[in-house]
Amino acid sequence: MAGRVENLKPWPKGVSGNPGGRPRHDIAREIAQEVFENNREAIYAAMTRALLKGNAHTFKELCDRAYGKVNDKVEVTGRDGGPVEYKGLTEDELRDRIAQLKAEIGSE
């Protein structure tokens, strides 16, 4: 058996082992908010690279820590539940715009 026997029940019955309760300030939350709010360009570049590689986990975890978890999921669809349409852009113009955005973030 690991540990010491005297540590098995360190508090008498009815006495809390955490009398101060949960800390009022979540230090990890404050750090995550500072990272997001004071390093916008670096966060944008790093997260964009991760997302383009298919990894949204890091972004989700940092956002959840900084600002809380999202309660409702929203699905965006086009008319009658179909795909979203890009009005006014030809296929070539859309491809050019995507290439331009990728170049701006350094993914190509």
The pLDDT tens digits of the residues spanning 18-34 come to 777 777 777 877 887 88
Burial 32-48 (b: 16+ CB within 10 A, else e): beeebeeeeeeeeeebb
| Long-range CB contact pairs, 101-104, < 8 A, 24+ | 102/52
Q: Is the pTM of this model over 0.75?
A: no
Domains of the chain: which residue ranges? 25-69
Task: Lowest mean pLDDT of 47-51, 99-103, 104-108, name the range.
Answer: 104-108
Q: What are phi and psi of 107, to 5 degrees?
A: -95, -5
The pLDDT tens digits of the residues spanning 60-99 come to 777 787 778 777 676 767 778 787 777 788 888 888 877 8
**% of residues, the chain, pLDDT over 90:** 0
**% of residues, the chain, pLDDT over 70:** 82
Question: Cα separations (Å) of 5 from 16, 17, 27?
Answer: 19, 17, 33
